[in-house]
Structure 1
Amino acid sequence: MTPQEIEALFTRSDDTYAFARWGRPLAPVVFGVDDTTLIVVKSAIEATCQLAGHSMSETDPELGSNLMMFFFKEWSELTEVPDLDRLVPDLTPLVQKLEAAGANQYRLFRFDEAGAIKACFVFLRMDAQLSAMPAQALALGQIVQSFVLWSDAAFREASPLALHEGATILKPEIAALLRAAYDPVMPAVAQDPSHALRLFARIGAAQ
């Protein structure tokens, strides 16, 4: 990847550069799936943590669980989840907005005082499009998009995933970028596009 391609992945629609990674271990919980799918999702989380060199935990001392994934049929189901409105500000207007847009997915991040990710809520309305995806591809794609703060347009044109010998994997360039992003010498938060040059250099140093 060129520095310009890396920069584009973290440059938002308003032309601001915004990068953040997790500042604490992941403590995931998944709602609305059967045991088989749960294993697939947790395997995707573990694999991505191992790739990036990030850690997992049974619980988060502040939130209990800090990566919450919800699988459901209709957006209105979210308003029936106990205490979710305490974790997600303005839940009802958000649900109405997503219903009106016909959206099938939404990710909401929360950040600590330093600006690093401290929580992520992943909402997946299992419409025909998402239901047709293999569970492995759906899980890995969502985890990757929850692992750093990407641009809101990062993967509109191209998926971060690829097929290799029948298995769904991260594209090698995205895997290398995640490893560089979680390198201990790199900052957890960045708003300057020069950060993309540093990521490019870390990828080169690792190869």
Structure 2
Amino acid sequence: MPLRKMPCDPRRFQRADREKIVALPKFAAFLHRIKFNERSMIVSLGAAMSLATLDQTAYQSARDSSFQNLLVYAAKKSGRSVLQVLRDYRQLARSETRINLVEYVRFGLYDDRPGLMGMELPFWKELLEINERAARSFAPVRYQSTDIAITADGPVVVEINAGGGFDLPQYSNGRGMLTPEVRAFFESCGVKFRPKKSLLPF
């Protein structure tokens, strides 16, 4: 089932109209998880629009719960990534069952899958060594993250990112991480906090 068409174009609204938007039923869930600022929207537009398709009862339960915490909870239970869980949820939200994320977790859809606790990564020593070699190879990039695949023959570097991984600690802790001290650290490592172009023109 496709997403329901929004009742109006959000680009028409200016800052002074935000409270009016909140009063619109179709936008209530949509705006619940979005923080408007001068830079960008914090949460995925797709996830927010999925919430906006729920009926009133489902919307209320979703609104009263922490959407991000539920995503992380389901990811931890399943051993899957947050994006994979979000993809599953969006498919269910569009289906005839019209299931929402609160029900998605409560129904125990992940109870029969192993979690992450107690798992041991193979080739741990080799992982540390290859990560250090990769970091030294790109020493001018002071803050970096390395994607490493574990194969039957050992770890293999997939790619090295300049930055990356900012979302994981924020989702898991349920709060932002850019304190002045943390921001200063990343800036000293060459990370540039340029204002991002907003997806919406206000």
What is the TM-score when the length of structure 2 is the normalising length?
A: 0.28
RCO (CA 8 Å, sep 6+): is it higher in 1 or 2? 1
Q: Give the greater-gyration-radius structure (CA).
A: 2
